[in-house]
A = this chain, B = another copy of it.
Amino acid sequence: MLLSELAARFGLTLKGGDKEIDGVNVLEKAGPSELSFFINPRYAHLLDSTEAGAVLVGEAHAALVPTALVSANVYLDLARLVSVFAKPKGDFSGISELAFVHDQAEVSDRATVYPFAYIGARCVLGPGVVVFPGCYVGEDCVLGEDCLLYPNVVLMSGTRLGRNVIIQPGAVIGGDGFGFAQGPAGHVKIPQVGVVEIGDDVEIGANSAVDRASLDVTRIGPGTKMDNLVQVAHNVRVGANCLLIAQCGIAGSSRLGDNVVVAGQAGIKDNVTLGDNVMVAAQAGVGKDLADGSLVGGTPAMEHMVFLKSSAALSRLPELIRRVGRLEKEIERLSGTAADGEEHG
């Protein structure tokens, strides 16, 4: 496709001569027929040596390259440009005879079901849905248009997906929540009879888990993106456009507002409420409700800046203890009185 066509399609400014482009690649690897991109000034030196046919840049950097597509939002236009050249993964289409599709399932004739996928009774698969091998779609599930289940995804019974939901391989939606009552002879399972509802444009990462509610619904709001190995427990409600980064976990019945970011390996306790636009730093542990716009870190979580200063100060603590001990001796000497030794532990 011509640079000029790409420019026209996405409202970009073409700087330099027009040429045919057949892909997108990083600066180090792009060839003369490929487009590359430049965002991080740290890599400015690569602009000198790149063989890329053209570079997508912001206005501030347009002068650095001879042939450029100039953008007001480089990341966003990169997403669009890569989409032009991206091949879908997988090359099967139609309903495989090696799949199991229940008689009572309702599968669009524009859906794809790979070999070894299982589609249960009363499921509804909209047009454009693709179900890869090894997926299990339990009874009474609903998959909106263009949903994409990569291999070995499990949707247990009653799961409802909006449109354009992407689920990476191995993710499990609708497994039982972790609910047990204490009986005289040990833990007694509370059957988990609720469901999971997932909004439009959600993406869920590889080997993540979203549990069904005990009685009601576990909900992931539209536009929310979950990374790999994330845990969402029963009855949780996640708002719209949140980002849940790899290996974080949200415990039972907690609520997240819209645009919340939970960074990698962070944990949210059960039954807490996080407002909109909350950001939780990596590995933080949140045990209390957080107001809109909070930015927290540490375990238990505190204001992020306080956490950074406090944890930086931590390495000075052993020496501080010695300094306080010296001060106490000085004071004793100065005041000529004996301090109470037993409190100096």
Contact = CB atoms under 8 A, between A and B. Distances in A.
Contact of A82 (B190, B227, B318): B190
Interface string A199-214: 0010101111101001
Interface stretch (A14-22, A58-66, A166-174): A166-174
A83 to B, nearest CB: 5
Nearest to A164: B189
Given A154-B150, A186-B201, A311 B330 contact: no
A265 interface: yes
Interface string A163-188: 00010111010011011111101111
A25 interface: yes
A174 to B, nearest CB: 8
A90 B316 contact: no
A245 interface: yes
Contact of A73 (B181, B186, B190, B247): B181
B311 A323 contact: no
A24 B193 CA distance: 9
Contact of A193 (B86, B118, B265, B302): B86
Contacts of A223: 185-187
A321 B331 contact: no
A264 interface: yes
Number of copies: 3
A275 interface: no
A207 B318 contact: no
Of listed A80, A90, A170, A311, residue having the most chain B CB within 10 A: A170
A190 B78 contact: yes
Q: How big is the A interface, by class?
A: 35 or more
A218 interface: no
Interface string A73-105: 101111110110111011100000010100000
A136 interface: yes
Interface of A: 24-26, 28-29, 73, 75-80, 82-83, 85-87, 89-91, 98, 100, 114-116, 118, 120-121, 132-134, 136, 138-139, 150-152, 154, 156-157, 166, 168-170, 172, 175-176, 178-183, 185-191, 193, 201, 203, 205-209, 211, 214-216, 223, 225, 227-229, 231, 233, 240-241, 243, 245-247, 249, 251, 264-265, 267, 269, 282-283, 285, 298-300, 302, 306-324, 327-328, 330-331, 333-335, 343-345
8 contacts: A25-B216, A152-B154, A178-B228, A180-B243, A206-B211, A249-B265, A319-B343, A327-B331
Closest 9 CB pairs of A and B: A136-B151, A75-B181, A86-B191, A175-B206, A154-B169, A172-B206, A76-B181, A186-B223, A209-B228
